Amino acid sequence: MSIIKSISKKIKFHPIFFFLAFISVITGLFKEFSVFFLIIFFHEMGHVLAALHFKWNIKSINFYPFGGLIKFDDYINRPIREEFLIVMSGIGAQIIFYFFICILHNFYYINDSLFIMFRNNHYSTMLFNLIPVYPLDGIKIANLFLTKFLPFKISHTITLFLSYIFFIIFLLFSLYNNLSMNTLLIISLILSKIIEEQKNHNYYFNRFIFERFLYNFNFKKVKVINNGKINKMYRDKKHVFKINKNYISEKTVLKNRFTHK
């Protein structure tokens, strides 16, 4: 019960979420809005359960018109595998919830019209969430894949570029299909999140390397970096820097950076 109480205190709703809920009431679409929220809620709880399993510190659980977003107050240098499982747990929880709805429908506890509403919302939110654009799960999966093979800073730069590309595609698609007020709000919020992510680009990298300087992470893989280029550091790897034919530890290079010695 204490965990449920602690998690419930971290749930936050964007003001536009309440606005759309109000609009759904006066337009007679509250049932559709409720179905959408239930799907999003179970999706986010999948993320939450996985994060609790791996003992990640959850800062807040935010609900927006386009879905949910969990903010963590934890190390950037947590294992890629853990973050991947946390991201995928949201998708998994949503699929399990949909199968549960299918079972209820098969036993006639849910009528056909309500089931069709659940089914359509399930597939549409699933496909939308997989678009590689911040802050959706699709871009997080892409970023985690890239960080397996590319330096942290470069992979984040690529995902920012991908976000803008797919945002433009989504915008053009929405304009072609007659832009609604709800879609306009979603587009505005997504664009604001992409811009926020871009503004934090250098902050994330500095935090990433500062964590390496402050704490001892037990990474098994070793990466040799030439010429002491810190911006080529990877997640899930410890580094040895080759400078003028000398091999210098990661801690020493970072100490020189942060202490100016």
pLDDT per position as a tens digit, 79-118: 999 999 999 999 999 999 999 999 988 887 888 888 899 9
% the chain with pLDDT above 90: 54
Q: What is the structure's pLDDT at 260?
A: 66
Residue 112 resides in a domain: no
Is residue 63 predicted with pLDDT exceeding 80? yes
Residue 110 resides in a domain: no
Placement of tokens 């698609």 in the chain: 173
Amino acid in position 99: F
Is 54 within 8 Å of 85 (Cβ atoms)? yes
Q: What is the structure's pLDDT at 84?
A: 96
Q: CA 198 → CA 148, 192, 221, distances in Å?
A: 21, 10, 29
Placement of tokens 């010695």 in the chain: 261
Residue 241 resides in a domain: yes
Using alpha carbons, select from 50, 170, 153 the residue that is nearest to residue 58: 50
Residue 68 resides in a domain: no
Domain count, the chain: 1
Is residue 38 predicted with pLDDT exceeding 60? yes
Using alpha carbons, select from 222, 202, 213 the residue that is nearest to residue 254: 213
Q: CA–CA separation, 66 vs 125, rounded Å? A: 8
**Is pTM, for the whole model, over 0.85?**
yes
Is residue 261 predicted with pLDDT exceeding 60? no
What does residue 233 show for φ and ψ, rounded to 5 degrees? -75, 145
Is residue 133 predicted with pLDDT exceeding 90? yes
Residues 6+ apart with CB under 8 A from 66: 128, 136, 186, 189, 190
Is residue 191 predicted with pLDDT exceeding 60? yes
> Please, what's the largest Cα pairwise distance for the chain?
74
What does residue 134 show for φ and ψ, rounded to 5 degrees? -65, 140
% the chain with pLDDT above 70: 99
Using alpha carbons, select from 198, 170, 197, 194 the residue that is nearest to residue 184: 170
Mean pLDDT for 35-45 is 92
Q: What is the mean pLDDT of the chain?
A: 89
Is 186 within 8 Å of 65 (Cβ atoms)? yes
Q: CA–CA separation, 119 vs 100, rounded Å? A: 11
Placement of tokens 């976000």 in the chain: 163
Residue 236 resides in a domain: yes
| 11: confidence class by pLDDT, cuts 50, 70, 90 | confident
Q: What is the structure's pLDDT at 140?
A: 95
* H runs (alpha helix) in the chain: 2-8, 15-26, 30-53, 80-106, 112-129, 137-147, 152-176, 181-199, 201-214, 250-259
Q: Which pairing describes strands 221-226 and 237-243: parallel, antiparallel, or unpaired?
A: parallel
Token couple for 12: 């936050």
| 1: confidence class by pLDDT, cuts 50, 70, 90 | low
Residue 184 resides in a domain: no
pLDDT tens digits, 144-190: 999 999 999 999 999 999 999 999 998 998 888 877 777 788 888 89
Residue 154 resides in a domain: no
Q: CA–CA separation, 34 vs 37, rounded Å? A: 5
| 12: confidence class by pLDDT, cuts 50, 70, 90 | confident
Q: CA–CA separation, 222 vs 224, rounded Å? A: 7
Q: What is the structure's pLDDT at 40?
A: 92
Residue 104 resides in a domain: no
Full domain range(s) for residue 252: 217-259
Helix (H) or strand (E) holding 69: strand 67-72
Residue 104 gets which letter from DSSP?
H
